[in-house]
Amino acid sequence: MESVRQLMEPEQHETKQRPKWTRLLVWSTLGSTIGAAVPGGYCMGIINNPAVHMRAWCEATLLQNYGMQLTPAGLDTLWASIVSIYLIGGVLGSACAGWAANRFGRRGCFLLSGSLLLLAALGFFSCRLLQSVELLLLCRLVVGLGAGLITTGLPMYHSEIAALTQRGTLGASCAVGFSVGIVLAQICSMEALLGGEQHWHLALGFYVVFMAICYAPYRCYAESPKWLYIVKQQRQQALHMLVRLRGGNIGLQSEIQAMEQEAAGKCSSRSLSEVLKDSKMLLPLVLLCAYQGGQQLTGCSSIFYYSVSIFRSSGLSPRTAELLSLCAGNVNLATSLLNPWLMARFNRRTLMLLSSFFCALLMFAFGLLVEYSAMLPWLIYGTIASIFLYLIAFQLALGAMPSFIGTELFEVPSRSVANSLGNQTGWSCNFLVGFLFPTMHSLMGSWVFLLFSLFSSLLFLLTKFYLPETRGREVSEVAELVSHGFRSKVL
């Protein structure tokens, strides 16, 4: 505590300064994003383009190994399992992420996820040589475990190494990294590159290139000062890390006071049962889980997993469908690159209201246009436009905010558990969409997209009545605003 006073005493007459973008802060964010979030997004989008070749290989391998002749329905089920087992891994990884982030630190959680991704890549490279569908399924599960750790631990890490005014910019980095990974996967898996019949297994594990670059200097990355200060109670190390991240001790008194306030009279970390039993946690948990799950139920997952088949079912050629899927990924990426700027300059409530409203409207329009495009072929241009506009609206807030809003609603003792629970909800909903969408699409046709529109509308209403503005506010102030459940006055 003496070092805290020493840091604060020279500050009492200092003018308030904007925090610096130090080399340690920027490199820690970029390195962890490229090394973890980009591979996570890559694995999400990689099996879209080479699906035809992978399905044929699975069918031939099972016939050769076991004499099993799959029916079309059986092959569809197997393929849905290959797509969605990644999401089951995400659920399990998110369930462990809260414990891992507290036990090993935010940076240590990043290293653990990288180990899982590396192990899975080795399996991807080997599955075709070994003629093993089982190995392919296992590696999809393992890479999902790593991605689940990433989506929970990485936004928490970025938000905790950032100063208050930098929090929105860095908090969106994980979502941007996933968008970059999806586009890189679409490029690498094109037929002319690694998506052909002979090389699709190389495409699956190509993300190790990004990992090799960014995990090499792992020991140079910063650890979260809040984790050191509050969870590990290593005050000297925390203050030293904070000074390095901010480029000096000027302007640190408010951050130190905020950490002391969170640590005072509280346990260093809370269990899941303690969080669930606390009535003050009800509304923030509902908000976090609704945004994490709603992000998937608004239809983005169906586009990322099945855009090629959606475009082909609309009457487009396979080559055109592949190119349009790549264009959609680039539109999604281009808009996501604006997320850090948007989150730094506009209120969270405003962006989420606009994003959910236009997602509902555009998904509704997409469903109607696809349904009637068979009768009026020129409507296909409307379906393409609505998909691209939907992706722009999605990235206004729904693409980025769910990944870091938990760090702005929960104080440190509850944060890792709450984020873990929210990410489990998100990955579970992602699994439901990934596994059930082909069946629902065959049963309901294009009307299935109206369900996605409905979920977007529900998120709009939840935001309007219950989401407080978190931009520029300390977490303790936001936590007080939502502490009265659905009777909270958040405006």
Chain position carrying tokens 């925090």 = 19
Q: How far is CA 403 from CA 31, 171, 312, 362, 391, in A?
A: 18, 7, 32, 23, 17
Which amino acid appears at position 88 of this protein? I
Structure confidence at residue 459 (pLDDT): 92
CA–CA–CA angle 275, 399, 448 (5° rounding): 95
- The reported pTM is 0.72
CB atoms within 10 A of CB 173: 26
Query: Which whole number is the average pLDDT over 73-82?
Result: 82
The pLDDT tens digits of the residues spanning 404-417 come to 788 788 876 777 78
Q: Which residues contact 49 (CB under 8 A, 6 or more apart)?
A: 186, 189, 190, 191, 195, 308, 322, 325
The answer as to whether 16 is a domain residue is no
The pLDDT tens digits of the residues spanning 252-271 come to 777 777 777 766 655 556 77
Give the domain range for residue 106.
Answer: 22-487
> Is the pLDDT assigned to residue 44 strictly greater than 70?
yes
Chain position carrying tokens 């190494």 = 161
Query: Which whole number is the average pLDDT over 126-148?
Result: 89
Tell me what the pLDDT averaged over the chain comes to: 80
The answer as to whether 10 is a domain residue is no
Q: Are 400 and 41 in contact (CB under 8 A)?
A: no
Q: Which residues contact 272 (CB under 8 A, 6 or more apart)?
A: 98, 417, 420, 421
The answer as to whether 5 is a domain residue is no
Return the exposure string of 114-127: e unless at least 16 CB atoms fall within 10 Å of the residue's CB, then b. Answer: bebbbebbebbbeb
d(CA 109, CA 235): 21
The CATH code of the domain that includes 465 is 1.20.1250.20
Radius of gyration of the chain (CA): 23
> Is the pLDDT assigned to residue 8 strictly greater than 60?
no
Q: Are 463 and 353 in contact (CB under 8 A)?
A: yes
Q: How far is CA 431 from CA 79, 92, 184, 297, 458, in A?
A: 13, 12, 22, 10, 20
Structure confidence at residue 462 (pLDDT): 92
Q: Are 158 and 174 in contact (CB under 8 A)?
A: yes
The answer as to whether 3 is a domain residue is no
The pLDDT tens digits of the residues spanning 443-470 come to 777 788 888 899 999 999 999 998 888 8
Structure confidence at residue 10 (pLDDT): 45
d(CA 447, CA 427): 24
Which residue, 235, 98, 258, 229, is CA-closest to 163? 258
The pLDDT tens digits of the residues spanning 374-402 come to 677 777 778 788 888 888 888 888 887 88
> Is the pLDDT assigned to residue 134 strictly greater than 80?
yes
Quote the number of domains for the chain. Answer: 1
Per-residue confidence band for 13, with pLDDT thresholds at 50, 70 and 90: very low
The answer as to whether 14 is a domain residue is no
> Is the pLDDT assigned to residue 5 strictly greater than 70?
no
The pLDDT tens digits of the residues spanning 217-254 come to 878 888 888 888 877 778 888 888 888 888 777 667 77
The answer as to whether 1 is a domain residue is no
The answer as to whether 15 is a domain residue is no
Backbone angles phi, psi at 32, to 5 degrees: -70, -30
Which residue, 240, 280, 212, 235, is CA-closest to 2? 235
The answer as to whether 65 is a domain residue is yes
Pair of tokens at residue 230:
């509050």
